[in-house]
Amino acid sequence: MARFDKAILAEKYGITGVTEVLYNPSYEVLFNEEMKPELEGFDKGQETELGAINVMTGIYTGRSPKDKFIVDDANSHDKVWWTTPGYPNDNKPVTEATWAALKDLAVKQLSGKRLFVVDGFCGANKDTRMKVRFIMEVAWQAHFVTNMFIRPQNEEEFDQEPDFTVYCASKAKVDNYKELGLNSDTAVVFNVTSNEQVILNTWYGGEMKKGMFSMMNYFLPLKGIAAMHCSTYRRRRARLGRQRYLQL
């Protein structure tokens, strides 16, 4: 397995002072991490009768579309379907300066911590999939993305540089959101030029999953590939084999 250590977090992402990094941890490691007795609040996992892990995510039990933003820059400006007053949608613009401030908040939150880094693929087709790197401090969030994304299978896949990076900083708040022109102290922000997502002040795991689904919906049609919100089935022999393509 490829090496990954905290030096990479400092050099590549500016996340400094990391005490330890758990890279693509196994389910066994994840279970022990999310069940640690000293965990409190939304960090804490509870084992159910059937052996699943149950967690609380606070007031965010779903996505927070009002807190979704996309960086409006020279590259994205003419591509993104921006919201308009007449026909509103969730694609609200933020400036590059706001992005820098929000990313800095996430990087500061993740610095000096014990972190989880999970690399997974989004998409089954090797020609069009994206390798996504999730960086977070919450064990069950690492468990969630391990479930939802396709795991690297060999050294070559581990070594492959990620195409997209997600900074999940659920414990950071955007105190100066009014000044930045945001909706609340929660923010879910995409930068389709640097290929990054920053998540602040929401614990909901779906921001990472649906966030990457949204990014596939951005990048694929630009390459001439159809993208849609669906599931697919394939008839095989007498039975219907279920094909989970992007199960949403």
User: Using CB under 8 A as the criterion, which residues of the chain lie in contact with other proteins when the complex forms?
Assistant: 63, 65, 70, 79-81, 86-87, 89-91, 124-125, 144, 146-148, 150, 190, 192, 205, 210, 213-215, 217-218, 221-222, 224-230, 232, 234-236, 239-245, 247-248
The smaller minimum CB distance to other proteins, of residues 69 and 167, is found at: 69
Phi, psi of 105 (to 5 degrees): -60, -45
What DSSP element (H or E) covers 225? none
User: In angstroms, rounded to a whole number, what is the distance separating the alpha carbons of residues 77 and 93?
Assistant: 9
- From the list 178, 174, 241, the residue with the least C-alpha distance to 201 is 174
Calpha distance 93→68 (Å, rounded): 9
Cβ proximity to other proteins, 60 vs 190, nearer residue: 190
Query: How far is residue 1's CA from residue 31's CA, in Å, rounded to a whole number?
Result: 21
For 16-27, give the DSSP string.
----EEEES--H
What does DSSP say about strands 196-200 and 187-191: parallel, antiparallel, or unpaired?
antiparallel
Q: Which is nearer to other proteins, 13 or 149 (CB)?
A: 149
Decide whether 59 or 248 has the Cβ nearer to other proteins: 248
**Nearer Cβ to other proteins, position 109 or 214?**
214
